[in-house]
Structure 1
Amino acid sequence: MRWRFVIAGVVAACILLGLIVTLLMTPKYTATSMIEIAREGEKVTSFQGVERDVSVADQEFYQTQYGLLRSRSLAERVAVQLKLVNDPEFFSLFGVEGGDDPAFAMENGQYAASGRAERQRQAGQILLDHLSVDPDRMSRLVDINFTSPDPQFSAKVANAWGNNFITSNLERKAQATSYGRDVLKKQLAQLKDRLDESQRRLVNYASSEKIINLPAQGNGEAERSMVADDLAALNAELARATAERISAEARYQRVGGGGASTQALDNQAINSLRQRRAELAAQYEQLMTQFEPAYPRAKAIKAQIDELDQSIAAEESRVSSSLQADYRQALQRENVLQAKVDALKAQYLDLRRRSIQYNIYQQEVDTNQALYDGVLQRYKEIGVAGGVGVNNISVVDTADVPQVPSSPRLLVNLAIALLAGLGLGAGLALVLEQLSESIDDPAEVERRLGLSLLGSVPKVERQTPREALLDRRSELVDAYLAIHTNLRFTTDHGVPRSLLVTSTRPAEGKSITALSLATMLARANRSVILVDGDMRSPSVHHLGGVDHDRGLSNFLAGEDAVDPLIFRIEDLGIAAMTAGPIPPNAAELLTGNRMALLITRLLEAYDHVVVDSPPVMGLADAPLIAGQVEGVVYAVESHGIRSSVVKTALGRLNAANAHIIGGVLTKFEARKAHYGYGYEYGYGYGRDKDDTEA
């Protein structure tokens, strides 16, 4: 609050400066075009791109696109397309004069061709300095803003920027495709050479090792070895031969007596013979029931039966011989096939051993063939996809010619100036407050000086201090009454009997304080004498209307009579002693014990002795007197004296072993205090009401 006018002045100056700067600024126009950047372009074909698929977050992709929008190459491309590189008006529009730069040297009214590269670089940089790229949050839309003093030029650059970005994007894809085709073409040639070489090694090794493989019969099947096929076939035949041999052996072993073999039982001839024999045996048994074996007919039938038995035995013998022959034949065939299988196994094992290296060569051929086929297919796909030209960037809105300047904006600039002024003003107020050492508030007496505050005395403007003391309702009287009350609590016996009133420098109100304290003590029915101890600039004699021909200096010089040196101030009710004639050196008179003797003699006749002392700074008088009195009251001028100077003066008094009771803040103005209220309210309370009643 104390520096409010400083803050207001700084704010007003900043607002005025902002207004002037705004009015002097060249209007600038911002044109905006909008483009859409898709994450990936829609694929016309199912072919994948040549480059590796991006696997990072979308944010990284879009940040890359924003960086490309701000790239120097794109800016220079726009500058070249709009023919700005050789346009003096363009450089002049943005304040680029060139000066001694050889790139801007003129030849026949045009820029020299030798400086084109440097002008192109600078033109691109100028465009970048006035361009801003603003992505819309949570969308794929991007605003391209360009600002310049010319609205039509701003719109032209904003539109050209988006179009050139799309073109450069397509060119990068085409370059990537072309580069991919070249790389794949070189890879194809290398893979073809490797494939041919691996095939030659495979054929040569197969010829030298006599490895013959049959071609695969279906997709996914490998080549087949002839030995393996023969071994598989013979092994199958061997299995069948073994099965047949086992079967023949079982049939042979089952042949028993009485022709009980299965083949004999199934033989039709044997069965017919046995049936005939059974019939004859039946007839023979029937005859035996009636005749003897010697019966001719019985003998004939018996002979037929014997003949049939011989025929059956012969037939069964023939069947048994046949089964044995079949068994031997099956066993022989099995042995032959087993020998061939064993031989083929040895050949197969030898082939397997020789085929290890062959398989290595074959795998190398297969690998090279797969690589070659894959690269060849990719090469064909690039050839098709390279001509499609899919683009993932499109223009949404073209830039219109701006009708209203985008800057300067008066209200915004004034608001910024206001905020800056408030900040600067507050900062300046804080700095001034830190640099300020004046005592502006009664609370600062104790905080800054370490003195107990006895009271604060308001500044008297409409009447003299003596008139104010005679007016018992004046603010000055109220203030010193409060100080007198506080002095009563400084010692065990009340107000100190001998008081010294001093200050740091002249005109701080110490004499008024001394006079006022003496008056307040007198009004408290105490006998008081005021001694003018300032023998350099005396002032007490003016209060009594007398001169200072006789006074303190006479006693200090050796005169013993005290009463002739004293006079009365009747209207204030106090006695006083002038300073006396001004001595050549007042400090020399105070170095003896005459001052202490004077105070002792005065205290015999008066209740209190109040000494008006010279200022402390620059003089030795005050410290010399302060050591002879009971207490020192220190007057501090508010709003004027620096606290550091007061501290120095207090240090001098402390060095003289003076007892400083407290401080009195003089000439205090409440409106200049930190908060502007409180003290004035206390001193003036009820004043107008009393005056009205009177």
Structure 2
Amino acid sequence: MELKEYWKIIWRRKWIIVYAVILMVLFTNFILLITPTIYKSNAKVIFNMQEIEPYFIDGVPSDITLMRFVKSENAMGTIEELIESVPVIQGTINKLGLKDSDGKLLTMDDFVDPSFFQILSKGKGVEINNLEASEAFEIIGYSEDPAQAQNIAETVYENLIIEFSSRYRDEILNAKRAVEKRLLDVRVSLSEADIRVSEYKSSNKLYVPTTQINSLLSGIVDLKKEKETALRSLSEAETSLDNIKRASWVDQQKFKDVWVKIESSSMIEYYRKQLLTNETALEMLLLEYTSEHPDVKIARKNIEVVTGLLETETKKRLSTQIMEGPVFYNTIAQDYTEALMKTIKLTARLNVLSAQIGEKEKGLSRIPEKERQLSDLLIKANSLRSVYVSLLEDFENINSAMELDLANTILFQPPQEGTRYFPQLVKDDWFTYSVLAVGVGVVFGLFFAFLFNYLDSTIRTINDVKKKLNQETVAAFPQIKDLPLTISAGTISPFANEIHNLFSRIKLLGTDTKIITLVSPSGGDGKSIAASHIAHVMTQGDKKAVLIDGNLRNPGIHKIFNLPLSTGFSEFLLGEANFESIISNTFSSNLDVITAGSAALADPQSNLQSDISAQLVKSLLEYYDLIIIDTPPFASGNDSLILSAHDSKALLLIREGENPLSSINNLVSTLEKIKIEIIGVILNNVRKQIYL
């Protein structure tokens, strides 16, 4: 489609665009009038976890959640739960008395992380965001009052600090009670162990253990203590590995099955065993050599190579199992490999420690039985003593943690008075909003203009006639304001040029006929007016014509020529009048009219199908150069088809932009079926001049 055609569509549908602009401007101003101004106020809270972690103890029972509370892999999730907890959020609502439009206190569901429409409807809310998985949180308060938006953000922060401190103190106390109980239990056990050692020495007269036994005992105690530490570290590493897998299930419901498939892979299992072997060998080498020894360097290089292969294989498995982007599974694979390496290193360390303890215990077994039994008692006593000392250190750390000032671990960027959230501009700037609305309205108007044009099935141009009907346009009658509804002697037809050109084009198309029937698909198309003006113009020369009003259902020709509706076509069909009596003379000697008559016909189609109407047309040909028949619309019945069958040619009249294409096609196809030739199309009521 050429640019010119687009412009024609826009011009033809211009009122759609105008209405769209007007409605959009009115709608925008209406929204501005009814929508309250919403303000938002931002605050930031940063938790310095490095300041908190040193005060937490690894040696307390696993049921004390305090130890897990500050682990980096889940600390932010726990804090976010605190921010959105009932004491923090509901406490804010209650403290500030935040109510909805009905005067009821807001609920947490409406208040926390509200949608845009919830903010507009409720007028208040708070949004909590963890900034890019960091230790910082953003608290955004929303309100119709800028000061209240600031108060919401500040109150949420204040309640968070209270709840965080309360949770912190409660769990510290739980940890302290647990450690105190363990201290008491270990102290009793240690006292009993010392008594057993003393009694055994006394009964067996073993007062001075050999230096060898002391050395072995000391070594075993140290190794077991180190083994306990390694076991705790391994438990934490396995928990961290499990957390990585669980964290990846958040947005992937079937991720658990993915990890099962990955870890059951023979290649990954082979790399894990190879890494464990290499790490164990490295630990054994480090017992004999320094880290700069060539064998140690080779062992570490082998570990790096196998680690890289493990990470690559994990990425490969992830990429075939999930549909996320490469950055996602690269990050997961890297974290998984690092955590897995830590568990392997600790497992290798435990293997070496167990082997060392076993060797020293074998050395003890070679010592005489009594001394060996004494050594066992000493080992148990020394182990308990080591545990007791460790618990004392933990207890001191817990006391230090209780004195920790949480204010030093939290950085707070206070909120400022609320700034506009919606509308972004001030309401007084009506001109700016109106300009924006005009722009949007134009876009919508163009969209609907072209949509309606696409859906429009009417005939509007000569191109439509050619493309949609495969017919030629022989005349285009313009739209005439205040067109006279009658024709008299002094009437000058505004369609005179078009009518003369119509007959010229008919001759050029190779058609010459004395009988012309005007047909149209529906009523109100202007067919009777067109037929009357054609008859009037064509008889202004030397031609003699007769105009027959064949619309027996709703006649109108007699009104146009100011003739009485007396004896006419209907009386002739009933045999009540002869040929001469039905002809009405007009102001012109060359133009006669046969009105529809005043007789009532029960079934006009039956009367028209009789031979009487055909005989009338045949008789008229002897006296007139041109016979023009006005017919009823096709929508009211087949009268027009019957009248068109009297050796006539049909002129199809279409009202521009009014007749549906389906009704026109139905009429055209029906005329073609009964072999009535359509000599051309008249476009009537054309709003813009068309040059044929």
Normalised TM-score (structure 1): 0.55
Determine whether 1:162 maps to 2:157: yes
Determine whether 1:514 maps to 2:527: no
- Alignment deviations for residues 139-196 of structure 1 (CA, whole Å, 9 cap, x no partner): 9776645455666665555444333333333333333322222233344455567777
CA apart distance, 1:509: 1.2
Q: Matched residues in 2 for 1:366 and 1:524: separation?
A: 139
Q: Matched residues in 1 for 2:379 and 2:22: separation?
A: 92
Determine whether 1:624 maps to 2:637: no
Q: 1:665 is aligned with what amino acid? A: L
- Change over 3 Å in CA distance of 1:617–1:78 after alignment to 2: closer
Alpha-carbon contact 1:166-1:394 (below 8 Å) kept: no
Equivalence for 1:457: 477
Equivalence for 1:501: 518
- Change over 3 Å in CA distance of 1:9–1:201 after alignment to 2: same
Deviates most, 161-170 or 431-440:
431-440
Equivalence for 2:31: 18
Alpha-carbon contact 2:485-2:529 (below 8 Å) kept: yes
Equivalent in 391, 396, 399 of residue 413 of structure 2: 396
Determine whether 1:442 maps to 2:456: no
CA apart distance, 1:584: 2.6
Q: 1:457 is aligned with what amino acid? A: F
Alpha-carbon contact 1:456-1:479 (below 8 Å) kept: yes
CA apart distance, 1:613: 1.2
Alpha-carbon contact 1:468-1:476 (below 8 Å) kept: no
Determine whether 1:664 maps to 2:678: no
Equivalence for 2:495: 476
Q: Matched residues in 2 for 1:486 and 1:352: separation?
A: 136
Equivalent in 382, 395, 398 of residue 398 of structure 2: 382
Equivalence for 1:40: 49
Q: Matched residues in 2 for 1:352 and 1:604: separation?
A: 155
Q: 1:381 is aligned with what amino acid? A: N
- Change over 3 Å in CA distance of 1:581–1:403 after alignment to 2: closer
Q: Matched residues in 2 for 1:600 and 1:624: separation?
A: 15
- Change over 3 Å in CA distance of 1:220–1:505 after alignment to 2: same
CA apart distance, 1:510: 0.9
Determine whether 1:132 maps to 2:152: no
Q: 1:627 is aligned with what amino acid? A: A
- Change over 3 Å in CA distance of 1:213–1:648 after alignment to 2: farther
| Matched residue SS, 1:628 | coil
Alpha-carbon contact 1:535-1:582 (below 8 Å) kept: no
- Alignment deviations for residues 643-688 of structure 1 (CA, whole Å, 9 cap, x no partner): 67667767876786655555433223x2xxxxxxxx33649xxxxx
Unaligned 5+ segments in structure 1 are 85-89, 99-118, 225-346, 671-678, 684-694
Matches within 5 A, 1:262-281: none
CA apart distance, 1:511: 1.8
Q: Matched residues in 2 for 1:465 and 1:667: separation?
A: 14
- Change over 3 Å in CA distance of 1:543–1:44 after alignment to 2: closer
Q: Matched residues in 2 for 1:613 and 1:624: separation?
A: 9
Equivalence for 1:578: 594
Q: Matched residues in 1 for 2:188 and 2:502: separation?
A: 116
Q: Matched residues in 2 for 1:519 and 1:652: separation?
A: 30
CA apart distance, 1:358: 9.5
- Change over 3 Å in CA distance of 1:497–1:47 after alignment to 2: same
- Alignment deviations for residues 570-626 of structure 1 (CA, whole Å, 9 cap, x no partner): 86x965441364333143431212333444455566665431112333345323223
Q: 1:514 is aligned with what amino acid? A: A
Equivalent in 525, 534, 546 of residue 551 of structure 2: 534
CA apart distance, 1:633: 2.6
Determine whether 1:680 maps to 2:689: yes
Q: 2:46 is aligned with what amino acid? A: I
Equivalence for 2:610: 592
Matches within 5 A, 1:91-130: 97=103, 130=124
Matches within 5 A, 1:106-505: 130-133=124-127, 144-147=139-142, 156-189=151-184, 214-216=209-211, 221-222=216-217, 371-390=387-406, 391-397=408-414, 399=416, 409-410=426-427, 419=437, 422=441, 433=452, 439=458, 441-442=460-461, 450=469, 452=471, 454=473, 455-464=475-484, 476-481=495-500, 483-484=502-503, 487-488=506-507, 493-495=510-512, 497-505=514-522
Normalised TM-score (structure 2): 0.55
Determine whether 1:74 maps to 2:81: no
- Change over 3 Å in CA distance of 1:378–1:447 after alignment to 2: farther
CA apart distance, 1:502: 2.6
- Change over 3 Å in CA distance of 1:553–1:399 after alignment to 2: closer
Q: Matched residues in 2 for 1:365 and 1:560: separation?
A: 143
Q: 2:460 is aligned with what amino acid? A: D
CA apart distance, 1:501: 0.8
Q: Matched residues in 2 for 1:213 and 1:151: separation?
A: 82
Percent of aligned pairs with the same amino acid: 16
- Alignment deviations for residues 201-242 of structure 1 (CA, whole Å, 9 cap, x no partner): 999999999999935469864379xxxxxxxxxxxxxxxxxx
Alpha-carbon contact 1:131-1:144 (below 8 Å) kept: no
Alpha-carbon contact 2:477-2:498 (below 8 Å) kept: yes
Equivalence for 2:345: none
Alpha-carbon contact 2:141-2:149 (below 8 Å) kept: yes
Q: 2:397 is aligned with what amino acid? A: E
Q: 1:498 is aligned with what amino acid? A: I
| Matched residue SS, 2:635 | coil
Q: Matched residues in 2 for 1:348 and 1:384: separation?
A: 41
Q: 1:7 is aligned with what amino acid? A: A
Q: Matched residues in 2 for 1:202 and 1:481: separation?
A: 138
| Matched residue SS, 2:629 | strand
- Alignment deviations for residues 51-78 of structure 1 (CA, whole Å, 9 cap, x no partner): 2486767xx7657645543433113444
- Alignment deviations for residues 76-118 of structure 1 (CA, whole Å, 9 cap, x no partner): 44467x5x6xxxxx46x755656xxxxxxxxxxxxxxxxxxxx
CA apart distance, 1:462: 5.0
| Matched residue SS, 1:614 | coil
- Alignment deviations for residues 329-380 of structure 1 (CA, whole Å, 9 cap, x no partner): xxxxxxxxxxxxxxxxxx9998699999999988777766655544443233
Q: Matched residues in 1 for 2:631 and 2:565: separation?
A: 16
Q: Matched residues in 1 for 2:215 and 2:466: separation?
A: 102
| Matched residue SS, 1:395 | strand
- Alignment deviations for residues 6-43 of structure 1 (CA, whole Å, 9 cap, x no partner): 42442353245235425xx5x7776x464441442546
Alpha-carbon contact 2:567-2:598 (below 8 Å) kept: no
- Change over 3 Å in CA distance of 1:605–1:578 after alignment to 2: closer
Q: Matched residues in 1 for 2:571 and 2:545: separation?
A: 21
Determine whether 1:637 maps to 2:651: no
Alpha-carbon contact 1:551-1:580 (below 8 Å) kept: yes
Alpha-carbon contact 2:472-2:680 (below 8 Å) kept: yes
For the aligned residue pairs, the C-alpha RMSD in angstroms reads: 5.9
- Change over 3 Å in CA distance of 1:56–1:159 after alignment to 2: closer
Q: Matched residues in 2 for 1:66 and 1:143: separation?
A: 11
Deviates most, 144-153 or 434-443:
434-443
CA apart distance, 1:452: 3.6
CA apart distance, 1:460: 1.9
Unaligned 5+ segments in structure 2 are 1-13, 59-65, 114-121, 220-362
- Change over 3 Å in CA distance of 1:531–1:77 after alignment to 2: closer
| Matched residue SS, 2:175 | helix
